[in-house]
Amino acid sequence: MFGEELENTHLSSICNTADVDGSNGFNTQDFLNDDSEGASEQSDIDLFTKAWINEKNSPEILNFKKELLESLSLKLTTQKHFIEEENLEIFLSSIYLQEIERLKFLIRSYLKMRLEKIEKFSLDFLVNQENRLKLSSKELSYCEKYQRLKQEYFNKTCLEKLPEMLRSIEEKNEMGLSMIVEPDLNDSVLFKVDKSIEIYRLEDRLVTIKS
């Protein structure tokens, strides 16, 4: 089955968007201290957590957070090197390691959610330029390979037995129905208001949104 040919594709290969050498001098106490660097780091974590929540609750795939992932990957690597090189107390070291693992979980979960959407709507990404631009280069490469294997599987198991006029899965059939699976943009989503908006147009009416 086509899925077996993808078993060696790892999330780490998609996550590896930057070379990190741990040379930017990121301080391990930035996770806890409320200084200028710490505030920036906390801001990165907050931004990525929000990106994770948005991706989880959105029916369609959102823009890939490349710069944010590069920044967090660099700081995580530097933080890990610092813990390995410094003789820290066991309790203090465990706190830092737990924070690192928490953020690594968010990154893995974020990438996994995107891969699930890519596999579900793979053909839509390849024919829809707007959605295609939302993927990273590695995600796009994965999508192309996945769809190619999927197409080969369908051809061998089903499509070859159908009349030629019915073999294409990229076009509408005679009934005008599209064979391309697309996200349901009419699906309900939950959201939290960070800042009140006095007047906001919601379809055909104006509403006031309060935090």
Percent of the chain with pLDDT over 90: 31
Q: Is residue 61 part of a domain?
A: yes
**pLDDT tens digits, 170-207:** 655 555 566 778 888 888 777 777 788 778 787 778 87
Name residue 105's amino acid. Answer: F
Q: Is residue 202 part of a domain?
A: no
**Cβ–Cβ under 8 Å, residues 14 and 66:** no
Query: Which are the contacts of 134, defined by CB distance < 8 A and separation ≥ 6?
Result: 61, 62, 63, 64
The predicted pLDDT at position 52 comes to 95
Does 161 have pLDDT greater than 90? no
Give the CATH number for residue 56: 1.20.58.1030
Burial grade of 83 (CB within 10 A; 0-12, 13-18, 19 or more): middle
Q: Is residue 26 part of a domain?
A: yes
Q: Is residue 149 part of a domain?
A: no
Quote the radius of gyration of the chain (alpha carbons, Å).
22
Does 41 have pLDDT greater than 80? no
Q: Is residue 206 part of a domain?
A: no
Name the token pair of 196.
């009140």
Q: Is residue 194 part of a domain?
A: no
> Average pLDDT for residues 60-82, to the nearest whole number?
90
The predicted pLDDT at position 167 comes to 59
In this prediction the pTM is: 0.70
Q: Is residue 181 part of a domain?
A: no
Domain limits at 95? 2-142
Percent of the chain with pLDDT over 70: 71
> Average pLDDT for residues 42-68, to the nearest whole number?
91
Q: Is residue 135 part of a domain?
A: yes
The total number of structural domains that make up the chain: 1
